[in-house]
Structure 1
Amino acid sequence: MLAAGRSLARLNARHPWDHNEHFHRWVLANLPPRAERVLDVGCGRGGLVAALRTRVAMVEGIDTDPAMAALAASRHAGDPGVRIRHADFLAHDRGHDGGAPCPEHVAGPFDAVTMIASLHHMDLEPALERARELLRPGGRLLAVTLTRPAGLVDGLWDLGNVLTNPLMGFVSHPRAVRGPTRDQEGPQMPVREAELSLAAMRRRGERVLPGLRTRRREGFRVTLRWDAPA
């Protein structure tokens, strides 16, 4: 088992794939019709912001990490359809801890609120409530997140992801990568382990957003989609 694990790790290192960028297509395919203004929460280096700009007129990206916000702002400098800020999605609820000041809280409404690998960095219920407040009637929340395996079904799902992960990497990068990739250079995005199981997230999420749809996906990810009442 140890030898198999090391072999999988070597394959992953030689054929890496961006688990978050992989879901950009899912986000774009699920934007509400005629969306014009979108908020990307936890925008990181601005990859999803760039993808969204191919479809909508105005994209606002926020990130609590100042280095990530600066990178995203630099990437989109000069684009009048993009606004990047170092801001806390929940700042108007709980204030700041005395660190670097964040700008004023985000103001809606938005046609869509997107989150890729940022929801599990926040308290679930306040984050979903805040998204609900910022969406226009008929707007849509689209989130890709991580969960903590709990129970046999989750364990089997994780095992399946472990086994298919190298295959996904090989399809994305057939030629082996040597040395750090572009995204591995410079400031790195903050990482946090998921605390909630899928069952707990579903139960608590549906209390805040009735009709919330969740689905297990590849790359250890879970997608969430919710439509605000029209």
Structure 2
Amino acid sequence: MDPRRAQNGLIRTAVQGLNTANQRHPWSHNDAFHSWILTRAPARRGLAIDIGCGRGELAAILANHFSTVHALDTDPDMRRATGQRCAGLANVHVENVPLDDLPQDADQITMIAVLHHLDLDTALRQVSHSLAPGGRFLCVGLARLDGPTDIAWDLACALTNPVIGYIRHPWPADSAATEAPIPTKEPRQSVDQIREALDRLMPGAVLRRRLAFRYTIEWTKPLQ
């Protein structure tokens, strides 16, 4: 047997096995970071803004920790889903607000799998402008693969994904999701490019690669 053909066959088998495991034990890579956000919430908790709120899972959680939550999304299906989820929460306002009209003096601004949908520099500037001094920007994002380090992290994510799925969702999935699909987009910037933009526009921001094919950004606006 051709060794190269045998190797390719093993790779295909491994990939198929990973895909099967992921389908049997699905989990939300985005929801997994809610606890990361909550443990980094600022001391002052008046106004929170969740940009790209999706189906409203995070907005509903933030409503228990902040006086007012603005859940923003440009997609009408996502706003509708968030409105339904947060129907009993009087302090959650679901809106379609452009970045340059963000509410001011926010104590916290969050994005989960959203930054790559936006113009990077514009989004970071608007977030910085809208945060109150001492306010916190907490972002969970996706980046384009660019170089051996990114590829190594992606491989680690692929290998650990079914393990995490089994731990978080040990029972096999028996039905497809019926919720409105969240809009997706391929990321354009690499981790290094995002870090360079942060150095220019949010000095002191901390960017870390994470499992689940994600990175995180944590930044506190200086107190003037």
Which structure 1 residue ranges, 4+ long, deviate > 6 Å from structure 2?
A: none
**Alignment-mate amino acid for residue 98 of structure 2:** D
RMSD of aligned residue pairs (Cα, Å):
1.0
Q: Is the 8 A contact 2:57 2:85 kept in 1?
A: no
Q: CA deviation at 1:51?
A: 1.3
**What percent of counterpart residues are identical?**
38
Q: CA deviation at 1:34?
A: 2.6
1:141-185 C-alpha deviation (Å, 9 max, x unpaired): 0000001111111111110000000001000111111121xxx31
**Alignment-mate amino acid for residue 187 of structure 2:** A
**Counterpart residue number, 1:141:** 137
Structure 2 gaps of 5+ residues are 1-10
**Counterpart residue number, 2:121:** 125
Q: 1:80 aligns with which of 90, 98, 103?
A: 90
Q: Distance in 2 between matches of 1:84 and 1:68?
A: 10
Q: Is the 8 A contact 2:63 2:89 kept in 1?
A: no
Q: CA deviation at 1:88?
A: 2.9
Q: Distance in 2 between matches of 1:60 and 1:148?
A: 29
The residue matched to 1:138 in structure 2 has which SS? strand
**Alignment-mate amino acid for residue 153 of structure 1:** T
Quick check: which has more Rg, 1 or 2?
2
Q: Distance in 1 between matches of 2:222 and 2:14?
A: 49
The residue matched to 2:215 in structure 1 has which SS? strand
Structure 1 gaps of 5+ residues are 93-104
**Alignment-mate amino acid for residue 113 of structure 1:** I
Q: 1:169 aligns with which of 144, 165, 187?
A: 165
Q: Distance in 1 between matches of 2:179 and 2:147?
A: 38
**Counterpart residue number, 2:184:** 191
1:12-53 C-alpha deviation (Å, 9 max, x unpaired): 000001000000000000011132210000001100001112
Q: CA deviation at 1:135?
A: 0.3
- TM-score, scaled to structure 2: 0.92
- TM-score, scaled to structure 1: 0.90
**Counterpart residue number, 1:151:** 147
**Alignment-mate amino acid for residue 183 of structure 2:** P
The residue matched to 1:161 in structure 2 has which SS? helix
**Alignment-mate amino acid for residue 65 of structure 1:** D
Q: CA deviation at 1:58?
A: 1.1
> Is 1:206 aligned with 2:202?
no
Q: Is the 8 A contact 1:63 1:88 kept in 2?
A: no
> Is 1:68 aligned with 2:64?
no
**Counterpart residue number, 2:6:** none
> Is 1:26 aligned with 2:30?
no
